[in-house]
Structure 1
Amino acid sequence: MDTPTQRAQTHYGGAGLMAKVQAALAAFGPEETVLTVSQLAMLDQFHTRGMLATGELAEAMELEAGMAVLDLGCGIGGPTRYLAANYGVHVTGVDLSPSFVDTARYLSQRCALGDSTTFLTGDATQPPVADGSIDRVFLQHVAMNIADRAALYRAIRRVLKPAGRFATYDIVAKDGAPHFPVPWATTPENSHLRTEAETRDALTAAGFTIDLWRDDTEVASQWFAKMVAGGPPAGPTLALVLGADFPAMMANLARSLREGRIGVLTAIASCR
């Protein structure tokens, strides 16, 4: 029987992704053209509110140049590159999908950020980094794919330094199940949402103290409404990553937020 991890790997398989991305980026110029983080934002920021949310979370995390940062469930590396480019930190991105990791490395090279970013294939519940080696951990729209939430938060606590901090920006369960498919799951079997209360309990049990706890559901809903009103964005988008189901996934996500079935949680926690 498939495990939740194996199902997540299948969902984010990314077959042929590198070739699709390379072809799409030709719109910005020849292969040697150096790209910016902003140019890639509609393609590589794999969460609601995109680069806006990453920027807000980074600001709240009080990053300092030289810090070691871990981006768990990094996808193709959008937040990883944003943090490295704007804060002078070295960021390690970890993702289950080898295709995503390969594409993330390629995009970092295209942005001249290869020296300040590292990408590894691995499980977020067992990140391949040393214990006590990380100053800050970012987790954006990842936890809903992880059934063993306790193992996830214990792993994050393990890799953080004694004064480390952890930020999560994720979808949470509210009143009812989301409409499927959504970006993180095509069927309920791949979706492992928890309520805000369950999330807080799991974080506390893992040894974290809560510094910030904010419901960003309404802000996310307003963002979706603005995106729809603005029409399709120019340039490469997440449709390259998610494939033909992308429009239905995004529509179901926005609808589920409007109907109060799910919410968006921003939280920052410190090691005790």
Structure 2
Amino acid sequence: MEQVARFYGGPGGLVQAVRTALEEAGLDPCRLRPDDLAPLDEFHIRGRAASMEIVAALAVTSDSHVVDLGSGLGGPARTIAKTTGCTVTGVDLTPEFVELATALSQWTGLSDRTHFMVGDATATGLPETSVDAVVTVHAGMNIADKAALYAEAFRVLRPGGRFVLYDVLQGEGGEVHYPVPWAKDESTSWLATPDRTRQLLVEAGFEVVEQADSSDESLEWFRQVRARIEREGQPPVTFATFLGDAFAEMAANQVTNLAERRIRTVMVVCSRPQ
């Protein structure tokens, strides 16, 4: 776990680095629009489209409490909270990410509905059956004990609630080309196949409502992002701020891995039986 936290933690001072980048782009951190943070909040593959699919699958209301396991910079949490009016608690292993997620929610006026804490997604310490929905977005790749992750999601979820997983899974095309945005090498990367993921979810007690593979759409999304950058230039703040000079190679490998079916993007919607 310490290796994973170090990989994402960067050199420190992430809040100031993002504030400076925004100000240099002529943006006031205290008056941000959702689009200003899109490159960060929608860092996951397929961006906004995937975010809205997750929101719909969670089936929550303004009275709901959602937990985001592996919440990163809080993008999905903010999207869910802003779209539905619910409250979201994010749990992430990296202290710098929790600090920045908290700041970004303050800057976007969502600190009353999004809260972030440093913790282990496999053992959050949250009360049993205390939340209405659970989500995890592109976090399982860094978690070796997926059985523990899914068991924790089941434990904190109330009966009848939904668990939505949107993750990068192992494809049939062979071993992954590294580095990638979640790992420099295989030492902090643990991918499960779609079949194994479904099996572990069922073993945790969940009923699988839907499983959707979006790999083809993901590849097209990357092509559109590349075309937009060539046309408009890089946005003011991207994950290169945290992942450094290797980010370009990581992004290129991500596209190659998708094209060669070494990875797949899959969303699984589950429910905890009544």
Scaled by the length of structure 2, the TM-score of the pair is: 0.94
Q: By how many angstroms is 1:7 displaced?
A: 1.5
Contact map agreement 2:9 2:242 (CA 8 A) in 1: no
Partners of 2:68 and 2:42 lie apart in 1 by 12
Query: Is 1:269 the equivalent of 2:270?
Result: yes
Superposed, 1:94-113 pairs within 5 Å as 94-113=91-110
Partner amino acid, structure 2, of 1:253: Q
Structure 2 portions without partners, runs of 5+: none
Aligned residues: percent identity?
40
Q: Give the C-alpha shift of residue 30 in structure 1.
A: 3.8
Matched position secondary structure for 1:40:
helix
Mapped partners of 1:225, 1:29: distance in 2: 27
Give CA-to-partner distance per residue, 1:23-78, whole Å, 9 cap, x none. Answer: 012134345x3212222010233311122211111112222111001111111111
Stretch moving more, 211-220 or 222-231: 222-231
State the TM-score, normalizing by the size of structure 1.
Answer: 0.95
Question: Aligned runs of 1:171-190 on 2, under 5 Å?
Answer: 171-175=168-172, 176-190=174-188
Alignment partner for residue 151 of structure 1, among 148, 152, 166? 148
Aligned residue in 2 for 1:238 = 239
Are 1:13 and 2:13 matched, yes or no? Answer: no
1:229 is displaced (CA, Å) by 1.8
Judge conservation of contact 2:90–2:115 (CA < 8 Å) in 1: yes
Counterpart amino acid of residue 5 in structure 2: Q
Q: 1:37 aligns with which of 34, 47, 72?
A: 34
- The reply on whether 1:90 has 2:91 as its aligned counterpart is no
How big is each residue's C-alpha offset from its partner over 1:142-166, in whole Å with a ceiling of 9 and x where there is no partner?
0011101111100000000111100
Give the SS at the match of 2:152: helix
Counterpart CA distance in 2 for 1:137 and 1:37 is 23
Give, in whole Å, the separation in 1 of the partners of 2:113 and 2:26: 23
What per-residue deviation string (whole Å, max 9, x for no partner) do you get for residues 143-193 of structure 1? Answer: 011101111100000000111100011011112111100011101111100
Give 2:53's match in structure 1, choosing from 40, 53, 56.
56
> What 5-or-longer segments of structure 1 have no aligned partner?
none
8 Å CA contact 2:70–2:92 kept in 1: the answer is yes
Q: What is the aligned counterpart of 2:66 among 60, 65, 69? A: 69
Distance across 2 between alignment mates of 1:84 and 1:65: 8
State the distance in 1 between where 2:119 and 2:150 align.
Answer: 15
Are the counterparts in 2 of residues 182 and 252 from structure 1 also a CA contact under 8 Å? yes
Stretches (4+) displaced over 6 A: none
Give the number of aligned pairs: 267
Residue equivalent to 1:80: 77
Q: Deviations over 1:183-226 (max 9, x none)?
A: 11101111100001100110000000001101111010010111
Query: Does 198-207 or 230-239 show the bigger shift?
Result: 230-239
Q: CA RMSD in A?
A: 1.2
Equivalents in 1 of 2:212, 2:261: separation in Å? 16
Asked whether 1:205 is paired with 2:203, we answer yes
| 1:89-143 CA-partner distances (Å, limit 9, x unpaired) | 0000111011000011111110111111110000110113211111111111100
Tell me how far apart the structure 2 counterparts of residues 129 and 28 of structure 1 sit (CA, whole Å): 40
